[in-house]
Amino acid sequence: MTNSEKSVSYSTNGDGSSSSHQIYNVLLTILEYILIHLKFFYYILEHIFFMIFPREEDVKGEIVLITGAAHGIGKQTALKYASLGATVVCLDINEKLNKETVKEIQSRGGNAHHYVCDVLKRDDIIQVAEKIKNEVGTVSILVNNAGIMPCHSLLQHTDGEIRKMFEINVMAHFWLIQTYLPDMITNNHGHIVALSSCAGLFGLRNLVPYCASKFAVKGLMLSLVEELRHDPRNLNIKFTTIYPYMVDTGLCKRPKIKFPNFMRLVTQEEAAEAIVKAQRRGIEEFAIPNRFLYLHRLSRLFPRRATDVLFDFMEAYVDSDL
């Protein structure tokens, strides 16, 4: 009974039963209050327990679809999933390199398929999905990885560049999720992984549209979790948002790092390892390295100008590619 319903029942009951109703409702509220506290602390303890003793889901037999699998993080993630016994579906606009990813997986004894797909085009995504369902099966893990990163000041970005970045980095996530989520809901089984970035946690110079697109991915994923968690039929559908720091794929063309020993580029292999680990552990948000997620949360507690001093000291950014 909602609070407004409770108050209606007090006012309509003019006889002696109203006071016993009131006592009943007060007891119910106290019980609810105790339960909320118990649950709150239970979930904190559960979280700490699984941080210390992580449980990893087996991905053998799962069908994992990875966008942007022809190169970089996507390619390494495809290799990693295949090495764990998953069937991997590699999607990319670059047919030649995508075929090479699949060949490499097959030469190592893995199971993989390649499809050309321009994630800019919603129709393309839908048509390819039908083919995949007929030829490979139902996708149970979707890794939304494909992304681009033009890097210069906002006033130097063209409108076409900004639109394209949002089409690939954000809109494609919507179309892919709308395409693959329904089967996950039907089967109450699935996992959606999204590549955001540390640029989706901190605003960075020369990356204004890119940061905005990666913040959007964060918002999309967190609100999707919120939307689905209210229906118990979705209990076994999980979500993981990944925030990598700079990775050595060539996407960051001109990285500038003051303390390379402390803040070196992450290797593609390390990134892939971390993505698969976070997915298998069902971690909702994971930065690579993960200390950046804690740094982000901590930095929100302090005034902007105070944290600027620290970030200016650490100085890690990407120079303009123009």
For residues 99 and 75, is the Cβ–Cβ distance under 8 A? Answer: no
- Number of C-alpha atoms within 13 angstroms, CB side, residue 84? 22
Residue 237 within binding range of ligand NAD, rule CB under 6 A: no
The residue from 141, 168, 212, 293 that contacts ligand NAD (CB under 6 A) is 168
Nearest distance in Å: CB 67, ligand NAD? 6
Measured from the CB atom, the residue of 63 and 165 that comes closer to ligand NAD is 165
Q: Using the 8-state DSSP alphabet, how is residue 267 labeled? A: P
User: 243 catalytic, yes or no?
Assistant: no
Range in contact with ligand NAD (rule: CB under 6 A) among 21-29, 53-61, 67-75, 185-193: 67-75
- Helix 72-83 to helix 268-280 angle, to the nearest 10 degrees? 50
Considering only residues 260-319, where is the footprint of ligand NAD by CB under 6 A? none
Contact between 197 and ligand NAD by CB under 6 A: the answer reads yes
Segment contacting ligand NAD by CB under 6 A, of 6-14, 32-40, 131-139, 143-151: 143-151
Which residues lie closer than 8 Å to 177 by C-beta, 6 or more apart? 142, 144, 192, 220, 224
| Rounded CA separation 171/206 (Å) | 22
The Cα–Cα gap between 193 and 244 comes to 13
Concatenating the DSSP letter of every residue in 129-153 gives: HHHHHHHT----EEEE-------S-
Q: Restricting to residues 202-231, which ones interact with ligand NAD according to CB under 6 A?
A: none
The identity of residue 120, as a single letter, is L
193 makes contact with ligand NAD (CB under 6 A): no
Contact residue for ligand NAD among 62, 72, 143, 152 (CB under 6 A): 72
Q: Binding residues for ligand NAD, per CB under 6 A? A: 67-68, 70-74, 92-94, 117-120, 145-149, 168, 195, 197, 244, 246-247, 249, 251-252
